[in-house]
Amino acid sequence: MKFDAIVIGSGQGGNPLAQKLAGLKQSVALIEERHLGGTCINTGCTPTKTFVASAQVAHYARSASRWGVNVSDVSVDLKAVVARKNKVVESSRSGQEKRDKGLESLRLFRSRASFIGPHQIKVGDETLESDRIFIDTGARPTIPRISGLDSISYLTNESILDIVDLPEHLIVLGGGYVGLEFAQMFRRFGSKVTVVHNSVQILPHEDVDIASELQKALEAEGIEFHLDAEAKKTDKRDGGVAVTYQRASGSQTVSGSHLLVATGRTPNTDSLDLDKAGVETDGKGYIKVNGRLETSAAGIWAIGDVKGGPAFTHISYNDFQVIYGNLIEGRNFSVDHRIVPYGVFTDPQLGGIGLTEKRAREKGYRLKIGTLPLTSVSRAIERGETAGLMKIVIDASTDQILGASILASEGAEIVQILTPLMLAKQPYTLLKGAIYIHPTMAEGFFNLLESVKEVS
């Protein structure tokens, strides 16, 4: 069966690409083994952010006395939280299905795909062919090789979204973005939470000052951290689970009722038989691409998490924009030097863009740095939410912004103010003369930019 295009996976890059091509009356085969919408709609952004919203309401209610409001008997009905999440997910998922079904030239195949040749795909009992194939199969939770892990019940970022009984004590294995979001939300739901992380700091990709500030905020809510702790063994204990980890000081064990494994992501490439298509992968299984997202095999592209790099929904969507722009609109887009904003939806929220100070130093830049604690931002003081830190990284030779980290309430919203300036390659000083609405969180940029100075 011949198609103008085959899209494997219906994530936030593959699905809009399939729809756009079908809208041009091209014949498109969209292959999806599971639910339409990929990780974002089904097990990522959409469900987790509904959880985050419920957890934040619980936190405000439980802490209401800080703002002079009296609230009593605060409890979380996790079954109702999950039901609300399911309703939101189903609405998003059904919207995707409706749009796909409305396109006459798009045919949906509900099965696993594998290559049987450079441009032939096996789907169930059928063979599909196309000169243009797009791989958007995403990634799944990485399950580390830890003694005893395969003999106990553990949770992942997917399965934890469906539990309806609140864990008494949740152990989170991993102090990265995913682990911390779940750690805080379940602490706010009412669980005791312990994070076991193998690095000396949480969020290893972030600067030490940013990570430390967030850790202090999370510890203030009662989350316990065991850092520089490499998990060696898990076993059942007292109806729950025990994790034994190794530190420089020796072996220690922490016990809890539930274990969440949040130790990274593994690309969904192992069942695709990519070697039959001539598509190369790296040592971790991620598909190798060039700046135009072309693989090592002609006529095959990779989109989203499956190619590695920042694993964010907006990256997947921008991958679609790059491919569509190049193939259909005749543009010359590349992903080699794009400016990437991102958010970590803890509270305070971490909004980042471009390079951290750590990464900029690795690249050899001469730097100017500006920092501002949230205790110096009027709106943060008025809201009673002063945990956090604003930080901006400047190229001292050009005064252009290399990156920023905004750890604050709505930090992911605030940091995007810098995107147009960075895209236009304008100096940060342009913002020094700007007028900021008072009182807002963004007004913190006024004093942040005044704090910029050259550093050694």
Query: Which amino acids are annotated catalytic?
Result: 438
Q: Are 134 and 7 in contact (CB under 8 A)?
A: yes
**CA-based nearest residue to 155, from 139, 134, 141:** 141
Which residue shows structure tokens 């006459």?
A: 104
Length of the chain as a residue count: 456
Residue 11 burial (CB count, 10 A): 31
Instruction: Give how far Cα 224 sits from Cα of 191, 203, 332, Å.
Output: 12, 15, 49
The two tokens of residue 112 are 């696993």
How far is it, in rounded angstroms, from Cα 161 to Cα 390? 32
Q: Are 305 and 138 in contact (CB under 8 A)?
A: yes
The rounded Cα 245 to chain-centroid distance in angstroms is 26
Which residue shows structure tokens 């990265």?
A: 176
Q: Are 40 and 11 in contact (CB under 8 A)?
A: yes
Question: Dihedral of the CA atoms 159, 163, 168, 169 (nearest 10)?
Answer: 10
List 348's β-bridge partners, or say none: none
State the alpha helices, DSSP H only, in 200-269: 208-220
Residue 353 burial (CB count, 10 A): 25
The rounded Cα 96 to chain-centroid distance in angstroms is 21
Helix axes 78-101, 45-62, angle to 10 degrees: 150
